Amino acid sequence: MNVARAAVDGPWLERTLAEIIRDAAENRSPDGADGPLFGPPAVGVVDGDDPLFEAFAEAVDSRHLRPRAFLERHAPRGSDLTCVRVVAWALPYAENIRRSNRRGDWPSSLYSLARNLGGALCLEAGRRMARALEAVGGAALSPALTGDADAFRSPTTVFSSTWSERHVAYAAGLGVFGLNGGLITRLGIHVRLGSLVTNLPVPCAAGPPRGGHRAPCLADGGASCGLCIGRCPVGAVSRDGLDKAKCNGRRKAVQSRAQTAGPDSGRLLAHRQIVNGRPAWRVPLGCALCQCGVPCEGSNPFV
Ligand code: SF4
Ligand code: SF4
């Protein structure tokens, strides 16, 4: 790739990532029956020294990574770290996948398959985007591909992590939080998220204005919509927002159901996902019924 550093801006990042997503093997089901699983992405860029990353130490976890410190640890020795940027992306599920998850009490097998592959796809996208940025002379790395990224139980927020892709995407201007805890992006809430940190001075204007972190539906307890409340089969979404413990209980139930029965479970089990940089056999752990068949599914209804 022969690209001048100055040409690396938001549109360039979005075009480059769109090509990576379009061509990636992870964007197709292993038997080739379904695909592409994800459409063209939305990309946002934020200054790695933005005060929000300090605020995340309180809002998410005290160990939440600071982009500059992360790059200082991982960039090749001698890298110019005058500038630190975080590039975040949202990959929208294809229309047929969203449609398959709009009804019923259990996630569709197609969604479950796409969810797991989407996780692997986001990591692979991080790898390939980093290579593309290195090719123009930058240092770049996805926190999710390092041991610095950790997810764990938290006494205050039930679950937490040292690199919350949702919060990072919010910081990068990709969307605002919805009543059900998802991030409502311009491509909707039913997306997979990923990110990397780089020292290239990419302009930070790629995304829409950040706005308040509470989307209208979260700020008014769902009065303006609230349709995701009724979509959750276990009552994990209410006018107060998301009950993470209830949601996780359902996710566990989804997992054990796929492990023990179901005509599609064999197919769902027959692929691997990269977890913390290592390949591992995975079964579905997602649900996302509250993100399908609702007004924010594939777009932001508030703009
Ligand atoms: S379904 Fe409605 S209330 Fe729920 S997150 Fe989407 S816009 Fe907000
Ligand atoms: S992901 Fe599933 S269990 Fe969790 S809040 Fe949404 S619908 Fe409920």
Write the pLDDT tens digit of every residue in 195-224.
Answer: 999 999 999 965 555 666 678 898 888 898
The label of the residue with tokens 């480059």 reads 16
| Half-sphere exposure (Cβ direction) of 275: Cα atoms closer than 13 Å | 9
With beta carbons less than 8 A apart as the criterion, state whether 91 and 122 touch. yes
Q: Which of 218, 290, 291 to mutate to test the pocket of ligand 2 (most atoms within 8 A of CB)?
A: 290
Question: Which listed ligand is nearest to 293 at the C-alpha?
Answer: 1
pLDDT-wise least confident of 8-17, 127-136, 139-148, 213-222: 213-222
Specify the pTM: 0.91
Beta strands 140-141 and 42-47: pairing type? unpaired
**Each residue's pLDDT tens digit, 75-103:** 999 999 999 999 999 999 999 999 999 99
Is the C-beta atom of 227 inside 6 A of ligand 1?
A: yes
With beta carbons less than 8 A apart as the criterion, state whether 198 and 133 touch. yes
Residue-level length of the chain: 303
Domain ranges of the chain: 5-291
Q: For residues 276 and 144, what is the distance between their CA atoms, to the nearest angstrom?
A: 7
Nearest CA to ligand 1 atom 1: 228
Question: Which listed ligand is nearest to 231 at the C-alpha?
Answer: 2
Q: Which of 183, 185, 187, 225 to mutate to test the pocket of ligand 1 (most atoms within 8 A of CB)?
A: 225
Q: What is the distance, to the nearest Å, from the Cα of residue 178 to the centroid of all Cα atoms in its chain?
A: 14
- Rounded to the nearest angstrom, the distance between the alpha carbon of 108 and the centre of ligand 2 is 13
Is the C-beta atom of 253 inside 6 A of ligand 2?
A: no
